[in-house]
Amino acid sequence: MIRALLLLIATAVHAVTLVLGPPASAGCGSAVNLRNASQTCVSAGDLPAGQAASAEHHTYLYLPVCGIRVGGACGRVVACTTRSGSRGVLHDVTVDGEAAGRQCIGDEEASDAAVVTPGLVQRAMRRLAWPASPLTVQPPDGLTLVNFDTNFYTTGTEPVTRAVTLLGQQITIEATPIEYAWHFGDGEVRRTAEAGAPYPDLRITHSYLRKDTYDVRLDTTYGGRFRVDNGPWQDIPGTVTITGTPQSLRAIEARPTLVGY
């Protein structure tokens, strides 16, 4: 007899514990089936002696619950406490495409079932090298005017992918720029989801009030998602910020000059 999928819900201050049971069983819904894959689950249960257990094929899918979204990507997942008392990430669970509640999955539960969790991918994402966005300043050649709308923009707007192997599985990580921090060198910083545009479509501009030489740079914050093999995309909690390379920009004063005809 296949044991039914149990959902135990307990609440605590600032944390929620949800566990799929029975965790000690090897039947459907037990801890060993925590993976984004199809499972053939067999459990003899309380079958009469001599009666063979029937096999049923079930597909389990675990997707992290997103608490805060930033620019379309998940900026923070919902934290929870597992049955063992460790910290985990709350997941929506589906069985054969049907909603089956939520479960808290931590590193212990994941390692028992060789599950690639969003937290594991997040740590891998932070170890990888991601490109700094190129910064273009107009007027060009590192020279601008005082009290002039200097234009800034970047062409670094496309997603970047990296492939890694985690727990013996092929993982594709896709990082997309979701925020830019424009450091103008005079103490002012502007944060936008906007990448700016070249002249004459001015979107990100800054006016310098005095002549000086300024170090300007562009920092890029990436949001990410991942998939195991060719499975569904899942959000990666948190973000990664890449510091840009400073450029020297000199602001000068324009002096009117009479020119004869």
Domain ranges of the chain: 6-115, 127-252
Task: Specify the DSSP class assigned to residue 195.
Answer: -
Average pLDDT score over residue span 204-232: 95
Integer Cα distance of 46 and 182 in angstroms: 66
pLDDT averaged over the chain?
76
Predicted local confidence at residue 47, as pLDDT: 39
Predicted local confidence at residue 225, as pLDDT: 95
127-252 is a CATH 2.60.40.10 domain? yes
Neighbours of 10 (CB within 10 A): 12
Give DSSP secondary structure letters for 204-243: SEEE-SS-EEEEEEEEEEEEEEEEETT---EEEEEEEEEP
- ∠ at Cα 240 (238, 243), nearest 5°? 150
Average pLDDT score over residue span 11-25: 26
9 — pLDDT class (breaks 50, 70, 90)? very low
What's the whole-model pTM score? 0.59
Predicted local confidence at residue 52, as pLDDT: 45
Average pLDDT score over residue span 55-59: 50
Among the residue ranges 48-62, 165-179, 227-241, the one predicted with the least confidence is 48-62
Predicted local confidence at residue 261, as pLDDT: 56
- What values do phi and psi take at 78, rounded to 5? -85, 120
Of 145 and 165, the structure prediction assigns the larger pLDDT to: 145
Contact 153, 136 (CB under 8 A): yes
